[in-house]
Every structure is written in structure tokens, then in C-alpha cells.
Amino acid sequence: MKSSPSEGLLDLVEQLKSKSNLVILTGAGVSAESGIPTFRDAQEGLWSEYNPEDLASPAGFRKNPKLVFDWYAWRRSVVLKSLPNMTHQILADWTNKFPNLTLITQNVDGLHQSAGSKGVIEMHGNIHRLVCCNKRHPSPWIDGNGEVPRCEKCNSLLRPDIVWFGEMLNNGVMSEINKALKQCDLFIAIGTSGVVYPAAGFLEKVKVSGAFTAIINKEKFPFGTADVQLEGLSSQILSVLNDKI
């Protein structure tokens, strides 16, 4: 890891100019700058009474589907009031600058797409969709006061298109991610805590194949050692990077 932030910043600028296969992973820290609380931070007020598994697990949905829908409807209402921030906008611009850029996000808010990013790989789903019978549906609920909708094909309750506790990531999604990581020669993790797998293992995975690695995060990344680690708000750091490339 570089000895000083300024040295690390300049080194990352040079890597961005020279590498051809860029993979960027974004986490909750990016959306937090748009005013969207993390899952745990969102459990306040009424929602503080519930365990996370009550609100975001298959068992919780079977037990009380209306509660789960109300929770996600409330979270979605927060997202709908939020706008993409500078990080979202710069990354959308980078999709034009870097033709071989793969953007992977742990966030479910769709703000990368709202900013103009194309081909975003959503690891944990999207809060604006419902799903059943391997088919995605636009969410018909806003305020959580209606009945839980049912699938037209099988009459089961539609559920949020979100990866819940205890569930595996979609095989197709993981296949796309693994392909990108295999080809990657520059990996940048932005605004992610580094504690949720499998994303927490991406950095070490690409290091084995020789990729240059960088972390941009408000707090120190707890796992692994990147070639460059920059602590601070992602919007501020990316703005500096963007001005230099």
C-alpha cells in the first residue's frame, strides 16, 4: 500500500490511464451520500423492534409477508426521494471513457442506472422490482398500504427482487462477475465495508491473478491489503481522480 494519500492518488491515476479491464465494486457508502441509509441504519423507529431476519429472509416473508412489504415499501419511498450523487455521475461518465469497465454494485436502489450507467451488475437485486416464477415485475406498491400482489402465473405472493439473508446469489449474476474478475487488471472497491461475502473476497481473488487493487472508503477497509487505499468520501476522491485522467 502506498505510503501517503497523495502518492496513492497519483498512482491510481496512472493505473486508470494504463489498464484496459476495469472492475468497480460499489457498496452502501456510495448511496449514503445520496441520503439512503444502510440496511442496519434504516432499522430505526418502528423498524427497530424487528430482527433483520424478520424483514429480509424467506422465513420472515412466509411468516408475515405484509410486514416485509411494508418494510420494503418504506425503504423504497426513501430511495424515490434520493438523487444520484457525484460518484454515480462520474462512474456513469467512466463507462464512456473505459469501454471495458464492469460496474458491480451491492446496492439495490438503482441510482447507478438513474445516473446513466449501462450494464450494471446488481449483486443483491433491485428494490423497484418484484419477482416470481423467474420473472421480474415492476413494483406496483409505493406506500405499503395495499394488499401484497400475487403472481398471475402461479398465484403465489410476489416478493421483492432482493437477495435475502440465507439466500445464494443468482447463478447468472455470479457467472458475469466471475468472468469480469478473471479478465480484470484494475479493481476498485468504493464505499463498501468489505464484510459481506462473496463481495468481500473479490479483492484477494483479483490480486492472485495480478490485478492492481484500490479501495476508496470513508473508513479503513477491514480485510486484505490493496495496492492503494484512500480514506474519505467517494464523491470527493473520484472528483479529483476524474479531473486527472
3-state secondary structure 214-230: EEEECCCCCCCCCCEEE
**Is residue 44 over pLDDT 90?**
no
According to DSSP, the β-strands at 121-122 and 125-132 are unpaired
What cell numbers appear for 42 in the block? 434504516
Average pLDDT value over all residues in the chain: 89
* pLDDT at residue 51, as a whole number: 87
pLDDT in tens, 105-117: 999 999 999 999 9
Dihedrals phi, psi of 225, to nearest 5 degrees? -130, 120
Strand-pair partners of 142: none
Indicate the range of 75-89, 104-118, 139-153 predicted with least confidence: 139-153
The answer to whether 215 touches 227, Cβ cutoff 8 Å, is no
* pLDDT at residue 130, as a whole number: 93
* pLDDT at residue 39, as a whole number: 73
**Is residue 226 over pLDDT 80?**
yes
The answer to whether 50 touches 40, Cβ cutoff 8 Å, is no
**Is residue 1 over pLDDT 80?**
no
Beta carbons within 10 angstroms of residue 180's beta carbon = 22
Residue 57 and residue 162: Cα distance in Å, rounded? 10
pLDDT in tens, 150-176: 888 999 999 999 999 999 998 999 999
* Span 31-47, average pLDDT: 78
**Is residue 144 over pLDDT 60?**
no
Share of the chain above pLDDT 90, in %: 68
**Is residue 2 over pLDDT 60?**
no
Beta carbons within 10 angstroms of residue 139's beta carbon = 19
Could you tell me which residue, 209 or 103, shows the higher pLDDT?
Answer: 103
* Span 231-244, average pLDDT: 94
* pLDDT at residue 222, as a whole number: 58
Residues tagged active-site: 124
Q: Which helix (H) or strand (E) covers residue 102, if one does?
A: strand 101-105
* pLDDT at residue 42, as a whole number: 66
* pLDDT at residue 4, as a whole number: 61
* pLDDT at residue 223, as a whole number: 54
Nearest alpha-carbon partner for 16 in 112, 105, 94, 93: 94
Indicate the range of 37-41, 132-136, 206-210, 219-223 predicted with least confidence: 219-223
pLDDT tier for residue 138 given thresholds of 50, 70 and 90: confident
Domains (ranges, CATH) in the chain?
1-35+84-124+169-245 (3.40.50.1220), 37-81+127-162 (3.30.1600.10)
Residue 38 and residue 233: Cα distance in Å, rounded? 16
* Span 202-212, average pLDDT: 93
Q: Which helix (H) or strand (E) covers residue 43, if one does?
A: none
Beta carbons within 10 angstroms of residue 1's beta carbon = 12
Residue 134 and residue 153: Cα distance in Å, rounded? 11
